[in-house]
C-alpha cells in the first residue's frame, strides 16, 4: 500500500477560490484503494460551510512552537465520498471571512499551516510515502521536511512533490520577517534556496527542495522555462528540468455532464445534440433578452475579467465583431475596466451582447450548453478548465495557443477533417478576430463539418482518470516501484 497525503490551502467541496481546489478535491477519488491510500489535509477555515464543519470529528490537539510563540494546533477529520480529509484548526489564523487576506498575514498563516501539517502526522497515525504540496501556500513543507523534521525517524525518507498551479503567485515577503516567522536558520536564505531578488520566496523554496515538481500542462511546463512566462523563476525551472513534468487537470465528469445537468432546459448527449442542444440556446436568448434566433452564432465567455484572460484583445475588436451575425454572452467579474467595457457593449448592442457581471454556477452551466463557441484568448493559461468543460458540452473552443489551451484543443484542419476547436498563436487582436471569423464561416457555410467538430469534441476524455494515471506514474517513480 502506498500512502499519499495531499496538503493544500483549499479543496472542493469545502473551500474553493480556483482550479487548485478542484485538483485537490477530485484527484484522490481516482486512485485504486487497493494499492493507494490517498488522503487530504487543509486548514479548518471558519468560512467552510456549517454543514461540513458540523460533520468534522475532533481527533486531538497539541501545542507547537512557531518562531518564538507557542500555538494551538487542533486536528479534525471527516470522510467525504470515500476520502479521508484532515483539518488543521487554529482560530487565530483561520477565522477570517475568506481563505486568503493580506499577503503579510497569509505569509505567517501558511508558515503555521505548513509546520502544523507536518507536526500533526504522528498524531493521526498516518505516515505518507509522499507528501504532495500545492502552490506557494505549502512551499515551506519540503524545506521543513529536510530541516526540522529530519532528526525525527518518523519523517525519514518521506518524499515531497510540489505542484505549481499558477507561477504568478509565489508567496513573497521580506527576509527578516520570514526568518522570524519560520525560525529557519540563515543557511536557507541564499539565492540558491529561499531568497529571490532580495526577498524570501515560499514557492521558490518549495521548488528547490521538493523531490519532484509538476505543473498543470505540458506546454506550461515548457513555457515557464522562458523569461516571458517564468515570472522571474525561469532559471530555476530550467535547472529543475529533469524533475519537472506537466500533467493536465481533469474536470469532474459527473458535475459537468450535459446528459444529466439539472441547470439545463434540455439535456443532450453526443448522439442527439443536433436536435436538442439548440433548445438551450433558445431558452438563454429568452432569459437574457437577446434576439430569438436559432441560427445566430453564439459565443460564450465565462471567466475572471482580467488581463491574463486576454480581454484587452476582445476590447480592441469588439465593435468589429459586433458587425457580424453573432451573439456574445459574458459571465464573470474582475477588473473594473473590463466589467464596464462589457456593460457598455451590452448597452450599445443590446440584442447581440449580454454582459452578466456577477458569478453564478447555474448561469455558467447554461452558457456552456447554449453557446456554439467558447472564447478563451488568454495571455497565459497554466491549464484552463473552461475549454475542457466547453468540449464536454459540445461547445467549440476558440483559444490562443498557450499552456493548457494548446495541449487540450487540437485545432480544426479542414483538409483532414480533424480537430476539436480553433486556435491562434500570436497575442494579437486581429489574429483572434480572423480565427473567430473562420469559425463563423464553418458554422454558417459548412454545417456538417461543424457538427463533426462537435462530435469529436464530445468524444474527448478530459476526466480525472486520465490525469490520475499520470500522477500514479510519478508517485511510483518517486517511491521507486
**394 part of a folded domain:** yes
- Is 98 a domain residue? yes
Residue 353: its pLDDT value, please?
Answer: 97
**3-class secondary structure for 356-425?**
ECCCCHHHHHHHHHHCCEEEECCCCCCCCCHHHHHHHCCCEEEEECCHHHHHHCCECECCCCECCEEEEC
What's the mean pLDDT in 213-237?
Answer: 97
Q: What angle do CA 288, 292, 285 make, to 5 degrees?
A: 25
Statement to judge: residues 321 and 202 lie in one domain: no
CATH number of residue 229's parent domain:
3.40.50.2000
Decide if 413 is inside a domain. Answer: yes
Q: Do 445 and 471 reside in the same domain of the chain? A: no
pLDDT at 68: 78
Computed over every residue of the chain, the mean pLDDT equals 96
Helices 311-321, 336-348: crossing angle, 10 deg rounding: 10
Decide if 364 is inside a domain.
Answer: yes
Clarify whether residues 30 and 94 are in a common domain. Answer: yes
Residues 290 and 411 in one domain: yes
* The total number of structural domains that make up the chain: 2
- Based on the domain organization, do 127 and 72 belong to the same domain? yes
- Is the pLDDT at 67 greater than 90? The verdict is no
Average pLDDT over residues 123-135: 97
Decide if 260 is inside a domain: no
In this prediction, residue 19 carries a pLDDT of: 82
Examine the domain organization and report whether 201 and 279 are in the same domain.
no
Same domain, 216 and 159: yes
Rg (CA), the chain: 24
Query: Has residue 311 been placed in a domain?
Result: yes
Asked if residue 469 and residue 433 are part of one domain, the reply reads: no
Cis peptide before 114 (omega within 30 of 0): no
- Shared-domain flag, residues 189 and 59: yes
Q: Which domain holds residue 429?
A: 273-461
Share of the chain above pLDDT 70, in %: 100
For residues 294 and 328, state if they share a domain.
Answer: yes
Residue 268 lies in a domain: no
Q: What is the pLDDT of residue 309?
A: 97
pLDDT band at 17 (very low <50, low <70, confident <90, very high): confident
Identify whether residues 176 and 315 lie together within a single domain: no
* Residue 355 falls inside a structural domain: yes
Q: Are residues 348 and 229 in the same domain?
A: no
Amino acid at each position: 500500500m502506498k500512502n499519499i497525503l495531499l496538503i493544500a490551502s483549499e479543496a472542493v467541496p469545502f473551500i474553493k477560490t480556483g482550479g487548485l481546489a478542484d485538483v485537490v478535491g477530485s484527484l484522490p477519488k481516482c486512485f485504486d484503494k487497493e494499492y493507494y491510500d490517498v488522503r487530504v489535509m487543509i486548514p479548518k477555515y471558519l468560512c467552510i460551510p456549517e454543514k461540513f464543519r458540523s460533520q468534522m470529528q475532533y481527533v486531538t490537539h497539541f501545542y507547537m512552537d512557531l518562531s518564538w510563540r507557542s500555538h494551538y494546533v487542533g486536528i479534525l477529520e471527516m470522510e467525504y465520498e470515500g476520502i479521508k480529509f484532515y483539518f488543521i484548526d487554529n482560530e487565530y489564523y483561520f477565522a477570517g471571512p475568506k481563505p486568503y487576506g493580506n499577503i503579510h498575514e497569509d505569509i505567517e498563516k501558511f508558515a503555521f499551516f505548513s509546520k502544523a501539517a507536518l507536526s500533526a502526522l504522528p498524531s493521526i497515525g498516518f505516515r505518507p510515502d509522499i507528501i504532495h504540496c500545492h502552490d506557494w501556500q505549502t512551499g515551506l513543507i519540503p524545506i521543513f521536511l529536510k530541516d526540522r523534521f529530519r532528526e525525527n525517524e518518523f519523517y525519514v525518507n518521506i518524499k515531497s512533490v510540489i505542484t505549481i498551479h499558477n507561477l504568478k503567485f509565489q508567496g513573497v515577503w521580506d527576509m527578516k520577517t520570514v526568518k522570524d516567522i519560520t525560525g529557519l536558520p540563515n543557511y536557507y536564505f541564499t539565492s540558491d534556496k529561499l531568497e529571490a531578488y532580495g526577498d524570501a520566496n515560499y514557492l521558490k523554496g518549495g521548488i528547490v527542495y521538493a523531490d519532484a515538481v509538476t505543473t498543470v500542462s505540458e506546454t506550461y511546463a515548457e513555457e515557464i522555462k522562458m523569461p516571458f512566462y517564468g515570472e522571474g523563476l525561469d532559471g530555476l525551472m530550467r535547472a529543475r528540468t529533469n524533475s519537472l513534468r506537466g500533467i493536465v487537470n481533469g474536470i469532474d465528469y459527473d458535475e459537468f455532464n450535459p446528459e444529466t445537468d439539472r441547470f439545463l432546459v434540455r439535456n443532450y448527449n453526443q448522439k442527439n445534440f443536433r436536435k436538442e442542444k439548440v433548445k438551450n440556446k433558445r431558452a438563454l436568448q429568452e432569459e437574457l433578452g437577446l434576439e430569438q434566433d436559432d441560427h445566430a452564432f453564439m459565443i460564450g465567455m465565462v471567466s475572471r475579467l482580467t488581463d491574463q484572460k486576454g480581454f484587452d484583445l476582445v476590447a480592441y475588436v469588439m465593435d468589429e465583431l459586433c458587425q457580424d451575425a453573432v451573439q456574445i454572452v459574458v459571465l464573470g467579474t474582475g477588473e473594473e475596466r473590463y466589467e464596464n467595457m462589457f456593460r457598455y457593449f451590452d448597452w450599445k448592442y443590446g440584442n447581440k451582447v449580454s454582459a452578466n457581471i456577477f458569478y453564478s454556477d447555474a448561469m455558467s452551466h447554461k452558457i456552456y450548453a447554449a453557446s456554439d463557441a467558447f472564447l478563451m484568448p488568454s495571455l497565459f493559461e497554466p491549464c484552463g478548465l473552461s475549454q475542457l468543460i466547453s468540449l464536454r458540452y459540445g461547445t467549440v473552443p476558440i483559444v490562443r495557443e498557450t499552456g493548457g489551451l494548446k495541449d487540450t484543443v487540437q485545432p480544426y484542419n479542414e483538409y483532414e477533417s480533424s480537430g476539436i476547436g480553433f486556435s491562434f498563436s500570436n497575442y494579437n487582436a486581429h489574429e483572434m478576430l480572423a480565427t473567430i471569423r473562420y469559425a463563423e464561416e464553418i458554422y454558417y457555410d459548412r454545417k456538417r463539418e461543424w457538427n463533426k467538430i462537435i462530435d469529436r469534441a464530445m468524444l474527448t476524455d478530459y476526466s480525472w482518470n486520465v490525469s490520475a494515471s499520470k500522477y500514479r506514474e510519478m508517485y511510483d517513480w518517486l517511491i521507486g516501484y
